[in-house]
């Protein structure tokens, strides 16, 4: 048997739910770094951070090797630790919750809205009121801008500030999105905002993340935790440096640095951010029109937000049957997300089915259908035709 040939029983997905769009300019940018003197800790990472600042209006951007790493250093910079509490939503990737556990904190969840699948401001208000009475307020809240759409950050921020709670926006899906006509990442409603640059996201660095902030000290602390907790800044050292070789470890940090190759790819990709987001919105509007007569639920949109449309999640009856039929037809659908509190690890912490009914109800019917900047109208028509047959 020729092992280079695909097995006949192996599923071949012709149209994935998401994929990167890598141009020759992107390849040239990475190749240029490979021929340079720096593969890590060189000039490309600061250039990428500057591009993020320019796109978001943030004063500082701290790049890392993943969005999970960025969320972790954001929590560390805000002083999250044992005895503290972090809240996020069940409808997210597990990293949004796990970072609280990495810091030794307790994690809990706030249920989601039934139509946009993001943190429900009413549920947050009720939970904050009860927590204040019980003396168990969270130190940090992480609202998640699911599928590229902002939460109701005006209300979330106002409530959090009234209780002295810090906010980290998990905007892993939302680079290029806007809220109240301002770019996500400007931290107008948060202390820190985090982006992801995984290949299926809006722009990619292969793997990578970035945290933005307007706060000088938070930016410094995130940079410190990103690189072993070590500084060479004489103004931050505890003693005079005996020579140019000297450095000090001030915190128990980690190695979360982004490479120069990743950053160079990111700089090149960021030049097409607006085009990527515009195309995703065009495809989403086309889905809205074509799917309007089918017995399914399309994603609602917050009128105060402009989504970057990382995902186009629909809800259908008989999800397992529809999912299998689409996969069998080469349509690489996926499900985002299995509610975090239903994962075995979190069940062992005491969470149970029924704890967050809106997130669970959404999950029971959810399918993410293909959406990415390189998706053609013909590809989209193929997806819709297969979806019609499956329903």
Task: Say which DSSP state 146 is in.
Answer: G
Helix (H) or strand (E) holding 61: strand 60-64
pLDDT at 12: 55
- The beta-carbon contacts of 340-343 under 8 Å, at least 24 apart in sequence, are 340/88, 340/90, 340/92, 340/94, 340/96, 340/97, 340/109, 341/90, 341/109, 342/90, 343/94
Assign 3 a pLDDT band (cuts: 50, 70, 90): very low
User: How do residues 369-389 score in pLDDT, each as one tens digit?
Assistant: 999 999 999 999 999 999 999
Strand 366-369 and strand 312-315: the pairing is: antiparallel
User: How do residues 178-225 score in pLDDT, each as one tens digit?
Assistant: 999 999 999 999 999 999 999 999 999 999 999 999 999 999 999 999
Q: Which residues are catalytic?
A: 201
24-270: in CATH 3.40.640.10: yes
* Averaged confidence pLDDT in the chain: 96
Provide the whole-model pTM. 0.95
Domain residue extents for the chain: 24-270, 273-390
Asked if pLDDT for residue 139 goes beyond 70, the answer is yes
Q: Mapping DSSP to helix (H, G, I), strand (E, B) and coil, where does residue 70 land?
A: helix
Residue with tokens 């402009």: 306
User: How do residues 303-336 score in pLDDT, each as one tens digit?
Assistant: 999 999 999 999 999 999 999 999 999 999 999 9
The Cα–Cα gap between 183 and 48 comes to 17
User: How do residues 96-114 score in pLDDT, each as one tens digit?
Assistant: 999 999 999 999 999 999 9
Q: How far is CA 312 from the centre of its chain?
A: 15
pLDDT at 9: 43
Question: Is 210 exposed, middle or buried, given 0-12, 13-18 or 19+ CB atoms closer than 10 A?
Answer: buried
User: How do residues 11-51 score in pLDDT, each as one tens digit?
Assistant: 556 899 999 999 999 999 999 999 999 999 999 999 999 99
Helix (H) or strand (E) holding 315: strand 312-315
Q: What are phi and psi of 261, to 5 degrees?
A: -65, -45
User: How do residues 267-289 score in pLDDT, each as one tens digit?
Assistant: 999 999 999 999 999 999 999 99
CATH of domain 273-390: 3.90.1150.10
* Fold: same for 24-270 and 273-390: no
Assign 7 a pLDDT band (cuts: 50, 70, 90): very low
- 3-state class percentages of the chain: helix first, strand second, coil last, to nearest 5: 40, 15, 45
Instruction: List the beta strands (DSSP E) in 144-240.
Output: 166-170, 178-179, 182-183, 192-196, 209-213, 230-231
Instruction: Provide the percentage of residues in the chain whose pLDDT is more than 90.
Output: 96
Asked if pLDDT for residue 355 goes beyond 50, the answer is yes
pLDDT at 113: 98
The Cα–Cα gap between 59 and 206 comes to 25
């Amino acid at each position: 048997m020729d092992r280079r040939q695909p097995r006949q029983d192996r599923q071949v997905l012709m149209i994935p739910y998401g994929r990167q769009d890598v141009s020759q300019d992107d390849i040239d940018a990475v190749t240029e770094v490979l021929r340079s003197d720096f593969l890590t800790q060189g000039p490309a990472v600061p250039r990428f951070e500057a591009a993020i600042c320019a796109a978001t209006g943030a004063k500082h951007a701290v790049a890392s090797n993943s969005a999970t790493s960025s969320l972790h250093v954001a929590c560390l910079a805000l002083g999250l630790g044992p005895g503290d509490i972090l809240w996020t939503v069940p409808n997210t990737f597990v990293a949004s919750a796990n970072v609280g556990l990495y810091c030794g904190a307790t994690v809990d969840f706030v249920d989601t809205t039934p139509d946009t699948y993001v943190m429900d401001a009413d549920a947050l208000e009720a939970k904050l009121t009860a927590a204040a009475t019980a003396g168990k307020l969270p130190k940090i809240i992480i609202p998640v801008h699911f599928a590229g759409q902002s939460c109701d950050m005006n209300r979330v921020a106002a409530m959090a500030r009234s209780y002295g709670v810090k906010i980290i926006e998990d905007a892993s899906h939302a680079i290029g999105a806007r809220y109240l006509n301002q770019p996500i990442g400007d931290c107008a409603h948060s202390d820190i905002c985090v982006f992801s640059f995984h290949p299926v996201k809006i722009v990619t660095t292969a793997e990578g993340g970035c945290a933005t902030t307007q706060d000088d000290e938070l930016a410094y602390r995130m940079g410190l935790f990103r690189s072993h907790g070590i500084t060479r800044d004489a103004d931050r050292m505890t003693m005079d440096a005996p020579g140019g070789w000297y450095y000090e470890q001030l915190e128990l940090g980690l190695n979360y640095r982004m490479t120069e190759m990743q950053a160079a790819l990111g700089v090149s990709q960021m030049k097409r951010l607006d085009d990527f987001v515009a195309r995703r919105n065009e495809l989403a509007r086309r889905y809205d029109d074509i799917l309007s007569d089918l017995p399914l639920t399309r994603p609602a949109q917050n009128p105060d937000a402009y989504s970057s449309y990382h995902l186009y999640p629909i809800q259908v009856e008989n999800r397992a049957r529809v999912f299998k039929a689409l996969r069998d037809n080469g349509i690489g659908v996926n499900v985002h997300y299995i509610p975090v509190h239903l994962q075995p690890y979190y069940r062992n912490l005491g969470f149970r089915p029924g704890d967050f009914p809106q997130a669970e109800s959404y999950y029971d019917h959810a399918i993410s259908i293909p959406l990415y900047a390189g998706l053609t109208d013909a590809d989209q028509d193929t997806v819709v035709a297969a979806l019609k047959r499956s329903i």
